Chain A
Amino acid sequence: MTPLIETRNLNVRFGGVHATRDVNFSLAEAELRCVIGPNGAGKSTFFKLLTGQVKPTSGQILFRGKDISNMQPHEPGRLGIGIKTQVPSLFNGLSVWENVWLSARRTNSTEQADRITRETLERVGMLALRDATTGLLAHGMRQWVEIGVVIAADPPLILLDEPAAGMSDAEVARTAELILEINRRHALVVVEHDMNFIRMIAKKVTVLHQGAVIMEDTPDRIMRDPLIQQIYLGKKPH
């Protein structure tokens, strides 16, 4: 089975920083993977590589077998890769409805886009606030709006960079539910720090450290691994 997205010996260097080192990553259709790693591990850079915001220094990125290593910034969205960025990237001056609508409208007619927008807003629980100015919403809600924006375009691959950041426990649980529901028909890669959250959603976790993949396994085995504990949590194994 061709992986949905695959990187081969992916490297990127800028300034003197080797931000991504020989990363070999593979994700199947409708698979859910979490990516963790301490700050500076290269997680966001990895996402930027997948979405064409950063060009690789060497190596390849393949989407359904097709080489997409040197894309224009608007092409990943066209191909079917959606991303919720670490700092929410939304149209702050526009309403919640318009944000999602613009995403839906690219590949749908106006009537379909209207319908999809309504359904998406219901899914993420933001329909009641459809006319709110996005920039004025609380952080947790903006994350949900952004998730809505991403799923409205129905991309096969969805990248979520810290979707649970800044959320209360109840909101985190709701987000986990949402992600699992999305996972029924979409592949997801989720970058997160909150291990409890990760346990709620992931079967397989990739650990990045200083730009390289150092381990890929289930959340439990990763949590128990002494090396991971030392690197990530700064604890000596005991």
Chain B
Amino acid sequence: MNRFAKSWMSAALCLAIGTAMLFGLPSVMDDYTLIQVTIYAVMSILGVSLGFIWGFGGILCFGQAAFFGLGSYTYAIAVMNMGDSTVPFALAILVPALFAAVIGYVIFYGRLSDVYMGVITLTVTLILFNLINSTAGPEWRIGSAPLGGFNGIPGIPTLNVPGRPDDVLSPKDLFDVTFVCLLMVYLGLRVLISSKIGRVIIAAKENEQRVLLLGYDARAYKLFCFTLGGAIAGLAGCLFANWGAFTSPTIFGLAQSAQIIIWVIVGGLGTLVGPIVGCALIQWLTTAIGTQQTFNSNLVLGAILLLFVLLVPRGIVPSLGSAGEWLLRKLRRPAAAISPAASTAALPPTEQAT
């Protein structure tokens, strides 16, 4: 299963499914449902950004929402000042990336450990939240864009066709753009992961000492990984601002960061598809809970996170993969005893040497 997951076949399969959804969903869904699916796709991009830096780079960032928020705020402020959305779109990716680069430099070149990464990213998210939340007065504006403080920024102009400011995207167009972005992010990351840079990043997560001894500057690779994650989260933030034409400081909150982590854990750390599955599932669950009164969403999410960490630490996608593989083995050799390796869920199965 591990080999399949890493091969180009699994990437092709996912892309095929994704492309089918891109073209198929609009024809079976009305605009309203399409809008629902769009937000799932937007958040999936965010989830994938964390899934990438955490699952492949070993970087547990407690503040991925910071880059998400920066992306949405940057887009909002820039587009309200510039009119045409092309440059704002680019800025929404670059500003969070730059921010991530600075934080990443402090952490990786300062040789701080995992725990400190968690604390510092948490802290930065709080700083941003505190700062932006307090900008409610009318004196707080950048150009013609009011920051709005805890009220947020309403009425954000939608993306338009580059060069034609009046040709804005319709909900269906936004669905297309978002979905294409998701597929491109997925494809791009798959290509990166199988390239030399990607392999070094993954190796550094396995054993940073050995990567250094081989002559690779692990700090630079981690910085690149983290910055890329910030850029992708920024992209998701920009699309989010477009989706609701609104953004607010809650986006910088701990709750948002917690959600992203939950998607990745539930979906499966170490895969790119996992965060997408986890995100869709949890988003759907949150909406479903929101419509009833008995169970509070914090309660359910907290319980889910807790249960998954305790009982299903690998997440849905890898567990399904292992279960499927186990099933295949049983079907192929029903009479033979199952070797101990197959039942070891913790390690990927491989040829056993004595």
Tell me which residues from 317 to 354 in chain B have a Cβ below 8 Å from any Cβ of chain A. Answer: 347-348, 350-354
Question: Which listed residue, A76, A91, A132, A137, touches B207 by the CB 8 Å rule?
Answer: A91
* Complex Cα spacing A174 to B216, Å: 31
CB pair A77 B196 closer than 8 Å? no
What residues on B are CB-neighbors of A73 within 8 Å? Answer: 209, 212-213
Question: Which listed residue, B196, B207, B214, B347, touches A133 by the CB 8 Å rule?
Answer: B347
One of B30-38, B162-170, B198-206, B250-258 contacting the partner: B198-206
Contact-residue bracket for chain B: 20 to 34
Question: Which listed residue, A53, A103, A106, A129, touches B351 by the CB 8 Å rule?
Answer: A129
Tell me which residues from 65 to 99 in chain A have a Cβ below 8 Å from any Cβ of chain B. Answer: 72-78, 82-83, 85, 89-95, 98
Indicate whether A98 sits within 8 Å of B199 (C-beta atoms), given known contacts A89-B209, A136-B350, A137-B353.
yes
Q: Give the Cβ gap from B229 to chain A, nearest Cβ, in Å.
A: 21
CB pair A76 B213 closer than 8 Å? yes
Question: Which listed residue, A102, A103, A133, A138, touches B350 by the CB 8 Å rule?
Answer: A133
Q: Which of A78, A95, A133, A141 has the most CB of B within 10 A?
A: A133
Indicate whether A90 sits within 8 Å of B210 (C-beta atoms), given known contacts A74-B215, A153-B215.
yes
Q: Give the Cβ gap from A75 to chain B, nearest Cβ, in Å.
A: 8
CB pair A78 B210 closer than 8 Å? no
The chain B residue with its CB closest to the CB of A153 is: B214
CB pair A91 B210 closer than 8 Å? yes
CB pair B212 A77 closer than 8 Å? yes
What residues on B are CB-neighbors of A194 within 8 Å? Answer: none
Interface size on A, residues (CB 8 A): 37
- Judged by a CB distance under 8 angstroms, whether A51 is at the interface is yes
Q: How many A-B residue pairs have CB under 8 A?
A: 82
Q: Give the Cβ gap from B124 to chain A, nearest Cβ, in Å.
A: 26
Q: Give the Cβ gap from B218 to chain A, nearest Cβ, in Å.
A: 7
- Judged by a CB distance under 8 angstroms, whether A135 is at the interface is yes
The chain A residue with its CB closest to the CB of B202 is: A94
- Judged by a CB distance under 8 angstroms, whether A2 is at the interface is no
CB pair B203 A94 closer than 8 Å? yes
What residues on A are CB-neighbors of B200 within 8 Å? Answer: 102
Binary per-residue interface labels of chain A (18-52) against chain B in the complex, 1 for a CB within 8 Å, 0 otherwise: 00000000000000000000000000000000010
The chain B residue with its CB closest to the CB of A89 is: B210
What residues on B are CB-neighbors of A82 within 8 Å? Answer: 213
- Judged by a CB distance under 8 angstroms, whether A131 is at the interface is yes
What residues on B are CB-neighbors of A91 within 8 Å? Answer: 203, 206-207, 210
Question: Which listed residue, A53, A76, A93, A141, touches B206 by the CB 8 Å rule?
Answer: A93
Binary per-residue interface labels of chain B (179-218) against chain A in the complex, 1 for a CB within 8 Å, 0 otherwise: 0000000000000000010011011001101111111111
* Complex Cα spacing A89 to B203, Å: 12
* Complex Cα spacing A217 to B350, Å: 47
What residues on B are CB-neighbors of A193 within 8 Å? Answer: none
Q: Which of A53, A91, A153 has the most CB of B within 10 A?
A: A91
What residues on B are CB-neighbors of A133 within 8 Å? Answer: 347-348, 350
What residues on A are CB-neighbors of B211 within 8 Å? Answer: 74, 102
* Complex Cα spacing A95 to B214, Å: 17
CB pair A74 B210 closer than 8 Å? no
* Complex Cα spacing A133 to B6, Å: 14
* Complex Cα spacing A133 to B347, Å: 9
Question: Which listed residue, B199, B207, B215, B353, touches A136 by the CB 8 Å rule?
Answer: B353
What residues on B are CB-neighbors of A102 within 8 Å? Answer: 199-200, 203, 211, 214
Binary per-residue interface labels of chain A (134-160) against chain B in the complex, 1 for a CB within 8 Å, 0 otherwise: 011110010000000100010000000
Q: Give the Cβ gap from A156 to chain B, nearest Cβ, in Å.
A: 13
Question: Which listed residue, A51, A132, A141, touches B213 by the CB 8 Å rule?
Answer: A51
- Judged by a CB distance under 8 angstroms, whether A110 is at the interface is yes
What residues on B are CB-neighbors of A110 within 8 Å? Answer: 196
Binary per-residue interface labels of chain B (4-16) against chain A in the complex, 1 for a CB within 8 Å, 0 otherwise: 0000000000000
What residues on A are CB-neighbors of B215 within 8 Å? Answer: 74-78, 106, 153
CB pair B347 A138 closer than 8 Å? no
CB pair A74 B347 closer than 8 Å? no
CB pair A90 B214 closer than 8 Å? no
* Complex Cα spacing A138 to B353, Å: 7
Q: Can you report 25 A-B residue pairs in the complex whose CB atoms are below 8 A from each other? A: A72-B217, A74-B212, A74-B213, A74-B218, A75-B215, A77-B213, A77-B216, A89-B209, A89-B213, A90-B207, A91-B206, A94-B202, A94-B203, A101-B199, A102-B199, A102-B211, A105-B196, A105-B199, A132-B350, A132-B353, A135-B347, A136-B347, A137-B353, A149-B214, A153-B214
Please give the residue numbers on chain A whose beta carbons come within 8 Å of chain B beta carbons, in ascending order. Answer: 51, 53, 72-78, 82-83, 85, 89-95, 98, 101-103, 105-106, 110, 129, 131-133, 135-138, 141, 149, 153
Please give the residue numbers on chain B whose beta carbons come within 8 Å of chain A beta carbons, in ascending order. Answer: 196, 199-200, 202-203, 206-207, 209-218, 347-348, 350-354
A-B contact sample (14 more), CB < 8 A, given A74-B217, A105-B199, A136-B352: A53-B209, A74-B212, A78-B215, A91-B206, A92-B206, A93-B206, A103-B214, A105-B196, A132-B352, A136-B353, A137-B353, A141-B353, A149-B210, A153-B215
8 nearest A-B pairs in the assembled complex, by CB-CB distance: A77-B215, A78-B215, A91-B206, A133-B350, A73-B212, A74-B212, A74-B217, A89-B210
